[in-house]
Amino acid sequence: MGGAFQALGAWKAPPIARRKRGLAGSLSGERIDTVSPMKRLAILGAVLATALTATPAHAATALELPAPTGTQGVGTTSLHLVDTTRKDPLAPTVRDRELMVRLWYPAQRRGPRAGYVSPTQSALLVGFLNDQLGTTLPDDLLTFPTHSRQDARPLSRHPLLLFSPGLGVNAALYTGIFEELASRGYVVAAVDHTFDAPFVEFPGGRIEPQNPEALKDFDRLLAVRTADMRFVLTQLSTGPFSRNIDLSRVGVFGHSMGSITAVRTMNADRRFHAGTALDGNPLGSASLDRPFLLLGNQNHRRVDDRDWADFYDRLRGPRLHLVVQGALHYDFTDVTIFKSVVDVGKLFEVGPIDGERSLTIERRYVTAWFDKALRGKDNPLLCGESPRFREVDFQP
């Protein structure tokens, strides 16, 4: 542990997601309110639960993600962006809105493999868990190597996909889908929404924890998230990475509350040409005229989810509504992979579907959708139910 973590020794995780009908983005696609500190850290640190029944001293060796299947190498890097035109309504003090954005992109296969999260983030999460449970899990549990090369040199120009995570979730929890998309020729920009995420680490080791007060006004929170996405696109359009981005092909996607954010962002900004929602309610009253994919768990069928059915009926552009049998809310995150190590059902709503199978389905259908919407590439997976993926149910 470095000095940055030691200086944070007194930090306590704020409360966050408790199941309750009222606000959007619950564990099951219901609306959510707030939850205990344990639940909040579980949302970002899902993988920590896998160590509870493993050998503590070496549990990290069991944690890994399936390799991406595309032909391109994958790089990753982080950007610190400051919006000097916008004061942060979620911050506890008056300041400009600051964001950390992590990129995954086609890159040279050179350089060290990036860790899942940084040593500071891992130590903070593990330290809190050890404090709460009386365990002695290693500080570096979540620093296991991914399949991305840290700060690798990007290659050529590619379509851009912006991603918004669920409420109280850090973007790292979706690394499995990001690496796949990058390996297939996309630049992915995932936003950690400051004071909404459990914590955000800024350059120099500064940590900004979640602000519980920020979660009380859902409409304000969603407006800030939407503004974040639009700001990030503007910054990427003009910054050093712009030479590697094809701005004529830009998509947006998200999970849970990030799905709602994706809908709002597309509705507010025509620079976004296509979108995808991975679970999440309520999707709202927008009537989008650009391609949009709904990919949800088995509870989002038309007969079960009137919100999704009504939203789908209002879409005026190319559209698909798919559900995955056997999947539940957190099977659209990396938790679906980690659940194979130990039963995480007490912390997360995950279904009986095999984790690698779930991630494979998400990877194949999200990639096929954006390939069609942004590149004009046809894929038979989008034409009807496939014998290769019998778990995927096309909704009428």
Average pLDDT over residues 142-168: 95
Is residue 95's pLDDT more than 70? Answer: yes
The pTM of the full predicted model, rounded to 2 decimals, is 0.86
How far apart CA 172 and CA 78 sit, in angstroms, is: 11
pLDDT computed for residue 4 by the predictor: 23
Which of 48-52, 125-129, 319-323, 374-378 is predicted with the least confidence, judged by mean pLDDT?
48-52
Please determine, for residue 38, whether its predicted confidence score (pLDDT) is greater than 60. Answer: no
d(CA 125, CA 131): 10
- Average pLDDT over the chain, rounded to an integer: 85
| Mean pLDDT (whole number) for 346-353 | 85
Q: Where are the domains of the chain?
A: 3-379+387-394
Helix (H), strand (E) at residue 361: helix 355-375
pLDDT computed for residue 239 by the predictor: 87
Distance CA 242, CA 234 (A): 10
Contact 69, 361 (CB under 8 A): no
Which stretch of 38-52, 159-173, 371-385 has the lowest confidence by average pLDDT? Answer: 38-52
Q: What angle do CA 155, 158, 164 make, to 5 degrees?
A: 115
For residue 29, what are the contacts with CB-CB under 8 A and spacing of at least 6? 256, 279, 280, 281, 296, 297, 299, 300, 305, 329
CA distance 27 to 23: 12
How do strand 113-115 and strand 145-150 relate by DSSP bridges? Answer: antiparallel
Q: How far apart are CA 208 and CA 78, in angstroms?
A: 16
380 pLDDT more than 50: yes
> Tens digits of per-residue pLDDT, 100-120?
999 999 999 999 999 999 999
pLDDT digits (tens, 9 = 90+) for 217-240: 999 999 999 999 999 999 999 989
Q: For the stretch 212-234, what's the b/e string if a residue is b when 16 or more beta carbons lie within 10 angstroms of its beta carbon?
A: eebbeebeebbebbbbbbbbbbe
Concatenated DSSP letters of 270-329: TT--EEEEES-S---S----S-EEEEEEGGGSTTT-HHHHHHHHH--SSEEEEEETT--G
Give the bridge partners for 160, in sequence order.
Answer: 187, 250
Percent of the chain having pLDDT more than 90?
73
- Tens-place pLDDT, residues 42-79: 344 433 333 333 334 444 446 799 999 999 999 999 99
Alpha carbons 297 and 295: distance in angstroms, whole number:
7
* Contact call for residues 280 and 29 (beta carbons, < 8 A): yes
Two tokens at 231? 């700001």
d(CA 161, CA 303) in angstroms, rounded, equals 31
Confidence band (pLDDT; 50, 70, 90) for 174? very high
What is residue 339's predicted lDDT score, i.e. its pLDDT? 82
Determine which of 164-173, 287-296, 360-369 has the lowest per-residue pLDDT on average.
Answer: 164-173
Q: What is the pLDDT of residue 348?
A: 77
Radius of gyration from C-alpha coordinates of the chain: 19
Cβ count near 111 (within 10 Å): 15
Better-scored residue on pLDDT, 207 or 6: 207
Average pLDDT of the residues in 200-208: 95
Angle at 17 between CA 354 and CA 195, to 5 degrees: 115
Res. 17: pLDDT tops 50: no
149: pLDDT strictly greater than 80: yes
CATH number 3.40.50.1820 is the correct assignment for the domain at 3-379+387-394:
yes
Answer whether 86's CB lies under 8 Å from 227's CB: yes
pLDDT given for residue 181 in this prediction: 98
Is the C-alpha dihedral spanning 237, 241, 242, 247 positive or negative? negative
Residue 143 near residue 117, CB atoms below 8 Å: yes
Contact status, residue 253 vs residue 262, Cβ threshold 8 Å: yes
